Structure 1
Amino acid sequence: MIEVKNISKAFDGNQVLKDISITFERGKTNLIIGRSGSGKTVLLKSILGLFDIDEGEIWYNDRNLVQMSNKERKLLRSEIGMVFQGGALFDSVNVEGNVRFPLDMFTNMSGPEKIKRVQFCLDHVNIDRQAYKLYPSEISGGMQKRVAIARAIALNPKYLFCDEPNSGLDPETSTVIDQLIQALTKEFQMTTIINTHDMNSVIEIGESVLFISKGEKEWVGTNREILDSGNQKLDDFIFANKLYAQMKKGK
């Protein structure tokens, strides 16, 4: 579980986050949504500790990130997996090497142990072993995202962060990635936080959805509640998409 308590963040006098409190639950896909410039990326980076907040607290279970020493933060980072927008695979390293990278960097595993772990992670994201020696440029965008997810879970993280994991993917592949992230979240009981603008993802896997507007928490609920939220700002955000406007009319 990750609990955010009354956090605020400003840059050069511009208030980007304003007194946000939210609990992200373990074993659930927790989504952050909002318009461009709403502050959702700053919120994600603040929770990760990439930005120091001005006020508030960020709790990883019973540990307050704000009060952690550098050593404690380093230990925490070993418990975090990250799926970056675009995948962010190393172009000059093959599939197997990309997943092995965090094991080389952060563990004392033996060579055979690393091979076993890499195979375990790639099997879990349905990557065929014939693809292990291929390079990112030789595989599809959807496969690249699956490899990125395999790398993110290589260290068996307690916490998984995904920044626009469906960026650049077609709707069918996006659904596959969504379902994969949700399945892994439940299997490994991770606290998963996903920053997205993809309404298909919200409807598909939004077990808990935080909508922020102009740096403030505007609405929290589930994918089952979101189409009937009664929140005008949220409706304006969702139903700017004609498909969801039609869904609303059809209810």
Structure 2
Amino acid sequence: MIEVKNIYKSFDGANVLKDISNRFEQGKTNLIIGRSGSGKTVLLKSILGLYDIDQGEIWYDNREFVKMHHKERKKLRREIGMVFQGGALFDSLSVEANIRFPLDMFTHQSPVEKKKRVEFCLEHVNIEKSAFKLFPSEISGGMQKRVAIARAIALNPKYLFCDEPNSGLDPETATIIDQLIQHLTREFEMTTIINTHDMNSVIEIGESVLFIAKGEVAWTGSNKEILETRNKKLNDFIFANKLYAQLREEKN
């Protein structure tokens, strides 16, 4: 579980996050949604420690991140997996070498142990062995995202962060990635936080949704509750989405 309490963050005197509080539950897909410039990316980066907050608390289970020393933060980061928007795979490394990279960096496992872990992670994201030796440029965008997810879980993290994991994917592939993230979250009991603007993802896997508008919490709930909300800001944000409009019409 990750919890943020009364977070404030500003840049050059302009408030970007204003009194943000929320709990991100373990074993669930927790989504942060909002318009461009709403502050959702700043919140994600603040939780990760990429930005120092001006005020507030960030708790990783019973550990308060803000008060941690450098060594404590470094240790915690080994418990965190990250899926970047563009995948961020190393072009010069093969698929299996990309997965092995964090194992080489942060563990003292033997070559045999690393090989087993690489195979375990790739099998869990449905990558065939025939693709292990390929390079990122030789595989599809959807497969690249699956490899990025495999790398993110290589160190068996307690916490998984995903920044726009469906960016650049067609709807069918995006749904596959959503379902994969949700499946892994449940299987490994991770606390997963996903930053997205994709309403299809919200409807598909939004077990817990935080909607931010102009740096403030505007709504919280689940993908089931979102179809019945009367929150004007949230409706203005999502009503143009065809899938949402169709589901809303069917609901009524």
TM-score when normalising by structure 1: 0.99
Residue-by-residue CA offset, 1:93-118 (whole Å, 9 max, x unaligned): 00000000000000011111000000
Runs in 1 of length 4+ with deviation above 6 angstroms? none
Residue 147 of structure 2 aligns to a residue whose secondary structure is helix
Structure 2 residues without counterparts, runs of 5 or longer: none
Residue-by-residue CA offset, 1:111-168 (whole Å, 9 max, x unaligned): 1100000000000000000100000000000000000000000000000000000000
Residue 236 of structure 2 aligns to a residue whose secondary structure is helix
* Residue 122 (structure 1) aligns with: 122
Residue 176 of structure 2 aligns to a residue whose secondary structure is helix
Matched, 1:173 2:173: yes
Residue type at the aligned position of 2:135: Y
Residue 91 of structure 1 aligns to a residue whose secondary structure is coil
Residue type at the aligned position of 2:212: I
* Residue 224 (structure 2) aligns with: 224
* Residue 15 (structure 1) aligns with: 15
Residue type at the aligned position of 2:158: K
Residue 209 of structure 2 aligns to a residue whose secondary structure is strand
Q: Is the 8 A contact 2:200 2:243 kept in 1?
A: no
CA distance in structure 1 between the aligned counterparts of 2:225 and 2:250, rounded to whole angstroms: 15
CA distance in structure 1 between the aligned counterparts of 2:229 and 2:77, rounded to whole angstroms: 35
Q: 1:229 Cα deviation (Å)?
A: 1.1
* Residue 102 (structure 1) aligns with: 102
CA distance in structure 1 between the aligned counterparts of 2:78 and 2:229, rounded to whole angstroms: 37
* Residue 164 (structure 1) aligns with: 164
Matched, 1:182 2:182: yes
CA distance in structure 1 between the aligned counterparts of 2:246 and 2:102, rounded to whole angstroms: 45
* Residue 201 (structure 2) aligns with: 201
Q: 1:250 Cα deviation (Å)?
A: 3.1
Instruction: State the superposition RMSD in angstroms.
Output: 0.7
Q: 1:249 Cα deviation (Å)?
A: 2.8
Residue 235 of structure 1 aligns to a residue whose secondary structure is helix
Residue 23 of structure 1 aligns to a residue whose secondary structure is strand
Residue type at the aligned position of 2:155: L
* Residue 35 (structure 1) aligns with: 35
Instruction: Give the number of aligned pairs.
Output: 251
Q: 1:42 Cα deviation (Å)?
A: 0.1
CA distance in structure 2 between the aligned counterparts of 1:208 and 1:242, rounded to whole angstroms: 21
* Residue 91 (structure 2) aligns with: 91
* Residue 132 (structure 1) aligns with: 132
* Residue 56 (structure 2) aligns with: 56
* Residue 75 (structure 2) aligns with: 75
Residue-by-residue CA offset, 1:170-219 (whole Å, 9 max, x unaligned): 00000000000000000000000000000000000000000000000000
TM-score when normalising by structure 2: 0.98
Structure 1 residues without counterparts, runs of 5 or longer: none
Q: 1:244 Cα deviation (Å)?
A: 2.3
